[in-house]
Amino acid sequence: MNVSDSERVATQLAADGYEITRNEAAADVVLLNTCSVREKAEHKLFTRVGQVGKAAAMRGARKPLLGILGCVAQLEGETLFGKSPAIDFVIGTKAVGRVSKAIEQSFDGEKYYTDLENREESYVWSVAASQRHSPFVAFVPIIEGCNKFCTYCIVPFSRGRENSLPASEIVRHVWRLRREGIREVHLIGQNVNSYRPKTVAGLENYPGATAFSRLLRAVAATGIERIKFTTSFPRDFHPDIVEALDEHENLCNWVHLPVQSGSNRILKTMRRGHTIENYLERIDKIKASTRRIALTTDIIVGFPGETEADFQATLDLAEYCRFNSAYVFKYSPRPGTPAFALPDDVSAAEKTERFLRLDKLLRFHQQAVFRGYINRTVEVLAEKISEKHPDQISGHSTCQMVVNFAGASDLLGKIINVKIIESKANTLYGRIF
């Protein structure tokens, strides 16, 4: 979501006449887009702020104008100016359409410019081709914000309530991307399957048990080659989503379904709204698909009150699910969330120990899952020349695995059948089939 926000900010700035550079030394304005989901992410901000000032001083140049965007900006607002005098302006998560104004005001000498206000009616969600993170893959936001209030999570506070974009606009957006040569779209949102537009306009011809599965069918009907979506919320993960995947080849075979814990007791204090039993029902439905759907997840270790038995339940869950990959996080108390009031009673050493044990088990299963691809042919979007091996192309399969294979730049942007011959830690290797 942050990468997508940054792309839209760059698009707007370029349209307003600014030139975008990734070369910090050449920049008159530096924008830092921030994450506050864990404390470590927040710390990074202040390290980067310090670096920007220091780098300018070393060059003997004036410090560039420094603007803070994103979740930390939204949550901390004007208090950021007190934490670092190098910061010139602060733009909240919904004010990203108005960065030009902040720059102008700050250049004109206005101090402590802060905009934490709402999105404007006319906000543009699309991105100029020149500002996309990839020439072949595009993000399409379908829902912003979150109403779930999991007790550990800051996102409902930093990104506000759920707001679904009109289906007709999403479908038009995908049509436009397809015409521009985009091969793969990622429908994105904190919880894509909580998608609930105000009207069914754009979905009339597409049946389904939920607005999200109808949207999947509507987007599939645009004929764009590949459609991925993330993140799905387990409680709202209706079996009809898997049915839509079974029906449409261009809906990719990958589901990211964050479980967070394998213990019902912990899930309850996390207020996730799902139990392990109904999570596993969803997993069984996904695994019973006619397609081989890759599964990924997020897990938190060391949530307040997590005992060895609770943690063991998480290990059991990992054993059962055989995830293609999983992001494991040590619990990080976030001020303002309900869990912040709970004692952070799993010691740092214990969190590290659980993290490592879980990581080891996940990697073990992951390697077995990866080996299962050997001798099979997967469709890979040739995205870029491999950084490590310039004679290889790197891309993603429909199941969101990184696949490398021998090839030259004329293949970039094409979808290629690759037979997998080897698997390594995070990558599959193959040859053109």
Q: Residue 233, interface with ligand 5AD (CB under 6 A)?
A: no
* Per-position x/- string for 281-300, each x denoting binding to ligand 5AD as judged by CB under 6 A, each - no binding: -----------------x-x
Q: Residue 324, interface with ligand 5AD (CB under 6 A)?
A: no
190 contact, one of ligand 5AD, ligand SF4, none, CB 5-8 Å limit per kind: ligand SF4
Q: Residue 37, interface with ligand 5AD (CB under 6 A)?
A: yes
Among 139, 229, 323, 331, the residue binding ligand 5AD under the rule CB under 6 A is 331
Q: Give the integer Cα–Cα distance in Å for 279 and 295.
A: 12
* Both structure tokens of 5: 């926000």
* Per-position x/- string for 232-251, each x denoting binding to ligand SF4 as judged by CB under 6 A, each - no binding: -x------------------
Among 4, 190, 213, 222, the residue binding ligand SF4 under the rule CB under 6 A is 190
Stretch of 108-116, 219-227, 330-338, 343-351 lying at the interface with ligand 5AD (CB under 6 A): 330-338
125: Cβ–Cβ under 8 A, 6 or more apart, which residues? 8, 140, 141, 165, 169, 173
Residues 216-235 that bind ligand SF4 (CB under 6 A): 233
Q: Residue 183, interface with ligand SF4 (CB under 6 A)?
A: no
- DSSP annotation string for 264-291: HHHHHHHT-S--HHHHHHHHHHHHTSSS
47: Cβ–Cβ under 8 A, 6 or more apart, which residues? none
Q: Give the integer Cα–Cα distance in Å for 334 and 344.
A: 11
Q: Residue 334, interface with ligand 5AD (CB under 6 A)?
A: yes
Stretch of 87-95, 177-185, 261-269, 324-332 lying at the interface with ligand 5AD (CB under 6 A): 324-332
CA distances from 309 to 5, 299, 315, 350 (A): 40, 16, 10, 13
Q: Coil, helix or strand for 124?
A: coil
Residue 27 vs 37, nearer CB to ligand 5AD: 37
Position 154, amino acid: I
329 contact, one of ligand 5AD, ligand SF4, none, CB 5-8 Å limit per kind: ligand 5AD
Residue 36 vs 394, nearer CB to ligand SF4: 36
57: Cβ–Cβ under 8 A, 6 or more apart, which residues? 63
**DSSP code for 419:** E
Residue 160 vs 202, nearer CB to ligand 5AD: 160
Residue with tokens 């597409």: 206
* Both structure tokens of 331: 């619990």
Q: Residue 149, interface with ligand SF4 (CB under 6 A)?
A: yes
191 contact, one of ligand 5AD, ligand SF4, none, CB 5-8 Å limit per kind: ligand SF4
What phi and psi values does residue 233 have, to the nearest 5 degrees?
-100, 120
How many residues in the shown chain lie near ligand 5AD by CB under 6 A? 12
Q: Give the integer Cα–Cα distance in Å for 58 and 41.
A: 26
- Pseudo-torsion of CA 342, 345, 351, 354, nearest 10°? -100
334 contact, one of ligand 5AD, ligand SF4, none, CB 5-8 Å limit per kind: ligand 5AD
Q: Residue 274, interface with ligand SF4 (CB under 6 A)?
A: no
Residue 246 vs 298, nearer CB to ligand 5AD: 298
Residues lying near ligand SF4 in the complex (CB under 6 A) are found at 146, 148-150, 153, 155-156, 190-191, 233
